[in-house]
Structure 1
Amino acid sequence: MKTEIWLVFFIQLLIVRAEDSPTWLNIAETMMPLNVKNRCNVQDIGCFMLIPTYPKTNLKYPITHERCLHKCYMEYTKYSGLINNQCYCGTTLDKFVSNSTCNTDCSIELANNCKSDGSIHIYKLDIYTESCGDGFKSNILESSRIGCLEMPYNLHNHNSVWYMTGMTGQQCVLQCEMFKYTIAIPVLRYSACICSYIFTTFEHAEEIIASKILCNDKNLISGRIVPLYKTSSWDNQCTHRKFLNNYPADKMISVTGFAGSGTTWLRHLIEVVTGYYTGNHGEEHGAYEDGMIGEKMPVSAGRTAVNYAMFRNFIYRVDITYERIILIIRDPYHALKSAYASVVMGSRKASLHSVYYTEDNFHTFVMEEILHWQILPMVLLEKAKEKPVLLIYFEDLINDTMRQVRRIAEFLPQNLTGNSDRLEKRLICTAIEIQGNFKRSEKYKTDTDPFDYKTKRVINESVKAVDDFLKEKNFQALPLSYYRKKKSVWTDPSN
């Protein structure tokens, strides 16, 4: 009797599984386990014509992309490039490419899409964290997660499905990378892996943002919600930013803002959504080494349409130089802390221990710099006169990034953003690459309020002056959160 009961139960279980199983399981191909030990965490810098300052690395076995990356990692070099079956490793980007001599035949155009005979595809290695040497660990996997979706039951014709006993997220990502797919979807409930492409998975950028909400432990444990990971492969429509040729000086767009207000991140978003590098009237070596190649390209060369100008220099040339202006404003309390950290540590991404904010130097810095925070928008808008100005609040950029990026795209001339179809694809690219490599370190993130009553009174007066001025000029008022009470609760979700 017991045997019959168990038999009935087993048959019912098979029926439920058959009804519940996705149809694509029937076409899944068997895959073999892959070696995850030498998988590197890298940033795609793009393609250039090689300037062979560095000697090639001699490898006795056939050279592959991953082997070249691993070799450079073991030599503690930050950059790796593969060309004509030769591996190059270097400590600085300058030794690979030279933008100072670029003209209308710049190396980036010659190496477009990495198809030119002399083009080298350059990657930046994360040599300071667990990467090639320690293998493809879970923290690296999680950093590549795009979002989560309901487990698909029907697949697009361009998808591939693989099956392997003991399937893991790392194995799935490696398998999809091997076949040049851009999206990996491990369905561990069925020991399966779905490989897909960005533009067959998402039609709009907002879908990517919405997918992040589904990524919670309860949903993932259920098995009906599956994670999506970005592989190291990129669709050509998302990578290989370019320089422009002879962009008119009187049509240029400026990005400006007080120090510590997110101007570098804003430039990153503009680069991704347009596909073109941005420039800088000064030069920031750290941004250049992180892939912002336009840092060393003279603005006068006409190779960049959107250029950053430090606020102190910008207010003296705004009335004669730019056709349009993008101004970013951040809560002065947070901006001043970030700006001070950059000054003390000499790095735009630095953070400070709370003890630094108790020193007299910090309070002196605040009392001097709050005047610059106040003067910038007031002088800029007065001198801009009839020129179009787009005002972006840093907090809005953090809380509703894609809406603000759409505003920016609408503000830019169409010759930079392209038609609606290209723009939508670039917006999808932006949603995937929102953070970039320009977020300030959270090592010493703290809720400590370092501002005393006197300092808050001075800052609040500056906030009110700017707020009144913006209202007078018919711009959006400053957020109420910019004002601080005598005893305020200090929170900084964006650091």
Structure 2
Amino acid sequence: MVTRCTYCRKHKMGTSSLKREFVGCVIFMVFSTIWLVSYTDNTTLINMKTRVASSSVLLPSVAKKDIECPKVSLSKKPLPLTVLVSFPGSGNTWTRHLLEQMTGIATGSDFFDKNLEAGGFLGESKMNGSTIAVKTHDLYKPQSRKPLRDIKRAILIIRNPYNAMVADFNRHHSKSHVGIVALPVYIKNWNRHLSEWSRIWYSLNHSWITQMDNLLVIFYENLQKHLEQELTRLYSFLDDGSFHGNIQCALNNTEGNFHRNTSNNLPISFFYGDPDVRLMNRYIDVVDILLKKYNHSFFDISSYKMKLGYIHA
């Protein structure tokens, strides 16, 4: 654009020619600007889709509002014991962050993670009424652990198991909630526990769906796409008058400190052979039936299923 207008000046064109060239420059600049904006938007969308495929968290675009949000702290009065349960790699840590921002009350966990405590989760390892919810990856066994026997309600997070298993593999082998491991680590270690992971994903979801009466099921993919709607469901489920929160506080701070930003750029189907897919797809079918039977079907998990032949459905 600049070169073309400079050319007009250098060659001392006549007034009418110069005017025509000037108008041409303006038109060229307008269309270039439109193209650039369109290109930027499309590139952003492509990058966002790529991040989803690589199992990283896609955070929805929400309008931030100027409001005063309380500092997260432990509750001074006892709250009903609520567990936040999920298969590892399903977004439990992210959901804890959202709950804390939304309610102003810390979340606990049934084990101690020093990295999470250092990252701001001050309720780490607390399993009592001082927290809004207690993180666990255990199956529903109310008699197995004394601190969690008196569970009043539970929030179950379900994520596409193919993505969840890759996410948890990255966490375990990188020793970090935000780490990504190199390809040689996958090649060496990936297949060791794959069938066991599939069975645990199924067993955990089965136990909570079929045995816990006061249960709210949240789907990770819905959190990604419809955050405000899902936060409203969470707030309504937890709201018994014992706290005063604000959904907007979570919408103002959606990400937290443990967002896995990077990607190994491998398609999710890279990690699974046909025998793995057949087994996992059968588990998905059974969990889908259970969700419908117990009236928790707010998301079509049949979309989780992968086609045979390394092609993601």
Which category of TM-score, normalised to the shorter sequence, fits these structures?
Answer: 0.7 to 0.9
Partner Cα separation in structure 2 for residue 447 and residue 341 of structure 1: 15
Partner Cα separation in structure 2 for residue 321 and residue 350 of structure 1: 35
Matched, 1:366 2:194: yes
Matched, 1:486 2:313: no
How far residue 444 of structure 1 moved from its aligned partner, in angstroms, is 2.4
Partner Cα separation in structure 1 for residue 257 and residue 84 of structure 2: 19
Q: Is the 8 A contact 2:75 2:131 kept in 1?
A: yes
1:116-131 to 2 correspondence within 5 Å?
none
User: Residue 328 of structure 1: SS of its match in structure 2?
Assistant: strand
Q: Is the 8 A contact 2:285 2:302 kept in 1?
A: no
Match of 2:154 in 1: 325
How far residue 413 of structure 1 moved from its aligned partner, in angstroms, is 2.3
1:275 aligned partner, one-letter code? G
Matched, 1:339 2:168: yes
Q: Is the 8 A contact 2:127 2:134 kept in 1?
A: yes
Q: Is the 8 A contact 1:340 1:365 kept in 2?
A: no
Matched, 1:255 2:84: yes
Q: Which moved more, 1:264-273 or 1:363-372?
A: 363-372
* Residue 282 (structure 2) aligned to one of 461, 479, 484: 461
How far residue 486 of structure 1 moved from its aligned partner, in angstroms, is 0.9
1:340 aligned partner, one-letter code? F
- Per-residue CA deviation, residues 425-483 of structure 1 (Å, 9 max, x unaligned), is x2222112001112124142432521111111111111112112222222206423210
**What is the count of residue pairs matched by the alignment?**
249
Would the alpha carbon gap of residues 347 and 210 (structure 1) be closer, same or farther in structure 2, given more than 3 Å must change?
A: closer
Q: Which runs of 5+ in 2 are unaligned?
A: 1-59
Partner Cα separation in structure 2 for residue 408 and residue 445 of structure 1: 33
User: Residue 170 of structure 2: SS of its match in structure 1?
Assistant: helix
Q: Is the 8 A contact 1:378 1:466 kept in 2?
A: yes
Instruction: Tell me which protein shows more helix as a share of its residues.
Output: 2
Partner Cα separation in structure 1 for residue 303 and residue 262 of structure 2: 22
Matched, 1:377 2:205: yes
Matched, 1:395 2:221: yes
Matched, 1:277 2:106: yes
Partner Cα separation in structure 2 for residue 317 and residue 478 of structure 1: 32
* Residue 447 (structure 1) aligned to one of 252, 256, 267: 267
Q: Is the 8 A contact 1:332 1:482 kept in 2?
A: yes
Q: Which runs of 5+ in 1 are unaligned?
A: 1-207, 212-227
How far residue 209 of structure 1 moved from its aligned partner, in angstroms, is 4.1
Would the alpha carbon gap of residues 472 and 281 (structure 1) be closer, same or farther in structure 2, given more than 3 Å must change?
A: same
Match of 1:240 in 2: 71
How far residue 490 of structure 1 moved from its aligned partner, in angstroms, is 4.7
TM-score normalised to structure 2 length = 0.72
How far residue 259 of structure 1 moved from its aligned partner, in angstroms, is 0.3
Match of 2:234 in 1: 408
Matched, 1:305 2:132: yes
Partner Cα separation in structure 2 for residue 271 and residue 367 of structure 1: 34
User: Residue 271 of structure 2: SS of its match in structure 1?
Assistant: coil
How far residue 246 of structure 1 moved from its aligned partner, in angstroms, is 4.2
Partner Cα separation in structure 2 for residue 490 and residue 353 of structure 1: 22
- Per-residue CA deviation, residues 160-210 of structure 1 (Å, 9 max, x unaligned), is xxxxxxxxxxxxxxxxxxxxxxxxxxxxxxxxxxxxxxxxxxxxxxxx945
Give the percent of matched residue pairs that are identical in Structure 1 and Structure 2: 23
Instruction: Tell me which protein shows more strand as a share of its residues.
Output: 1
1:479 aligned partner, one-letter code? I
Partner Cα separation in structure 2 for residue 355 and residue 401 of structure 1: 36
Match of 1:427 in 2: 247
Match of 1:471 in 2: 292
Q: RMSD of the TM alignment (CA)?
A: 2.5
* Residue 267 (structure 1) aligned to one of 96, 101, 106: 96
Q: Is the 8 A contact 1:253 1:323 kept in 2?
A: yes
Q: Is the 8 A contact 2:178 2:261 kept in 1?
A: yes
- Per-residue CA deviation, residues 26-50 of structure 1 (Å, 9 max, x unaligned), is xxxxxxxxxxxxxxxxxxxxxxxxx
Partner Cα separation in structure 2 for residue 403 and residue 417 of structure 1: 20
Partner Cα separation in structure 2 for residue 210 and residue 350 of structure 1: 26
User: Residue 392 of structure 1: SS of its match in structure 2?
Assistant: strand
User: Residue 216 of structure 2: SS of its match in structure 1?
Assistant: strand
Would the alpha carbon gap of residues 363 and 416 (structure 1) be closer, same or farther in structure 2, given more than 3 Å must change?
A: farther
- Per-residue CA deviation, residues 316-364 of structure 1 (Å, 9 max, x unaligned), is 45994211110001101000111111221222222223443333x3122
Partner Cα separation in structure 2 for residue 486 and residue 339 of structure 1: 23
